[in-house]
Amino acid sequence: MALRGSITTMPVEDVVAWAARHGATGRLVIERDDVARTFWLDRGVAVWATSNVPEEQLGQILLRSGLIDEQALAGALGGPLTTTVAGATAFGQLLVAVGAIAETDLATILTTKVREALCEVVAWTEGTFDFEPVPPPAAGRVAVGVELTACLELARARAARWAEIRARIPGDGVGFVVRDPAAAVISATGRVDGRRLIEVLVAGGSAGDAIAALAGERFATLDVLADLLAAGAIELDPAGGKGDLAHARPRQLVEAVERRLEDGDRAGALALAAQALARHPADAEVRAAYKDAERARAAELARALLSRHRVPALRRSPAELDALELTDVERRLVSRVDGRWDLLTLVRTSPFGDVATLLAFAALAERGIVALS
């Protein structure tokens, strides 16, 4: 029988339990936001899984984990390399046929892929499901089988940790800054390939990229990343990955700001705090973190810029200034730069206060609008 509905009404755990209990055969599609995962079931066993997320596709996992190279992949396809391959299992069998990968290795990857995808969707609390009782495609498919009951038991055992992981890592698209590579490798080793993980992160890879590079071991990879975040060996990077930090919780952003301040990166802390404030303007912790970062950056600038006599000079003509995008504070301060008043006097007589004035002059200098020689 067909079965479809909302996850809020019938949790994925109940859907999978129903399929296992009835020995269901068919196609089960689970969707949430812009992510869709499809599972093919055969008499209560998951035999295949696909996803619309590029990093979860078989070709990407095999490439990024180093199990095959681009030449082997292109040769198996009989043409130029592509990152999206229709019929991933038939494609996998083709790789086996040309000797690009052993069938046992491919079966291991596919089993991991099915198990990890199914375990995660069981934890979803929003979205939809759609089961259609149709025969699963079998032509050219490498045989794998993941027992639904065993998957449910594993998902339940992971449930509490999943909540902790997602509290720190809001999505697979987030990027990271590696603060202590050696400590990160040591902490990860024995659970995942620590060196490979750090290589991916240093190269700007997201959490999803790391999962693919570690042979699709989703839970193990995110588990390690969450621990590394908690230890301060890495931190979330708003400029890295695929921008999922926009969905980060206020506390996550505050912790990232605090870590940057501890590391002495006051400019980076203020930039991150400004982004956090723009996203969560009413959050008291975010506002306090912004003030702390602002004061720390202003103190740093005061030490650097006010330690000796400096007379700001304009480096742009009036016509050029008119064409520039400047804040009201910057434009007012630029109008007061006359080549005679020194920076200390301009700061002390500014109607905007010391902090805002110092930050504005630093921004003007970085853009080459004012010289602070």
Task: Kindly report, residue by residue over 144-186, the tens digit of the pLDDT.
Answer: 889 999 999 999 999 999 989 988 888 888 889 888 888 888 8
Residue 326 is encoded by which pair of tokens?
Answer: 């400047």
Q: What is the residue type of 73?
A: L
Among 61, 6, 53, 55, CA closest to 30: 6
Residues 6+ apart with CB under 8 A from 208: 53, 55, 56, 172, 173, 241, 242
Per residue in 193-228, pLDDT tens?
988 898 888 877 889 889 988 989 999 999 999 999
pLDDT score recorded for residue 354: 86
Q: From CA 107, how far away is CA 144, in angstroms rounded?
A: 6
What pLDDT, on the 0 to 100 scale, is given for residue 140? 55
From the list 95, 114, 105, 92, the residue with the least C-alpha distance to 39 is 114
Residues 6+ apart with CB under 8 A from 191: 220, 223, 224
- Residue 80: the pLDDT is 40
- Helix and strand numbers (H, E) in the chain are 17, 10
Cβ-based neighbour number of residue 125 at 10 Å: 9
Residue pLDDT, tens place only, 21-31:
999 999 999 99
Contacts of 34 (CB under 8 A, 6+ apart): 52
**What pLDDT score does 315 carry?**
86
Most confident of 14-18, 96-100, 284-288: 14-18
Residue-level pLDDT at 26: 94
Percent of the chain's residues with pLDDT above 70 = 89
**Beta-bridge mates of residue 370:** 314
pTM score: 0.62
Q: Which two tokens stand for residue 104?
A: 């046992």
**pLDDT tens figures, 27-48:** 999 999 878 899 999 999 999 8
Q: Does the pLDDT of residue 89 top 60, yes or no?
A: no
264 exposure class (CB count in 10 Å sphere: 0-12, 13-18, 19+): exposed
Residue 208 tokens, joined: 């999803």
Amino acid at 29: V
Altogether, the residues listed in the chain come to a count of 373
pLDDT value for 112: 92
Q: Which amino acid is at 239?
A: A
Render pLDDT for 105-119 as a digit per residue (tens, 0 to 9): 888 888 999 999 999
What is the secondary structure of 41-76 as a DSSP string? EETTEEEEEEESSGGGSHHHHHHHTTSS-HHHHHHH
Report the pLDDT value the prediction gives residue 27, as an integer from 0 to 100.
94
Q: What residue has token string 């996803």? A: 51
